[in-house]
Structure 1
């Protein structure tokens, strides 16, 4: 059974087998979580992302999919990059957001990761309402068969932490 935990803090400061990056489809860094992961993780992550773009993902990583790279200088073995949907951009947004969590857990299982730290995917510049994002994230993780022992939701601020705490309590 997977244990779900909450931490208020910086995802890039977490010690886990895998950290999930709320990436943009280019895989080449950006703002928010994505920029922080690339900055703190160093050039090794970007080098692997460039190699992925040159091979399997020439058009970028599709929304709802996930792929792993090294974690570089982060205190983890891997970074699992997933591209969340922009809120309101399409009718299948909720399904795509759920897919980010399922696909990330699938990749974690392929890697043998036992601890995975997630941010609140799509809640930054992609505009997803925090309460809805927390519901989708927690329901999806609870209902996805996985060998991961601990899923840690790492929430940057109190508002996000409280939204996820309400979902875990309910």
Structure 2
């Protein structure tokens, strides 16, 4: 089931459960403050008694996987919205660290861990990226934006095995 239809179904169930309460209060000319209390208790009851079907629970248990392949494509699809197209980072609703010229990317373990598990405002992406994708985007950010931590004598590329090692 797609997210929008599921949202509409859940909203409809919650609204349907509160309609009897709301219709009772409309018939009372002096419902006043009670209207809010009655409606609120009806809404609470609707959410307390809602039991999702097995199909609905399975929908929430399954995480949609990202289909992009290659570090640059993954970066553009997932990371550039916050870290910006050239890795310069941003400040606004929060702080989005610059990936450009970032010494924290020298070794692959740190960015792998942050990508898989998240950190502060960054959500964990381990559920939507497989080990190969995490390694690819890690190597992309570590070898672009003024970073040169993958190639050369001292370069260390991230591998899918490295990623598997940080997963729970």
Q: What range describes the TM-score normalised by the shorter chain of this pair?
A: 0.3 to 0.5
What TM-score, normalized to structure 1?
A: 0.34
Q: Which has the higher contact order (CA 8 A, sep 6+)?
A: 1
Higher strand share: 1
Compare CA radii of gyration and give the structure with the larger one. Answer: 2
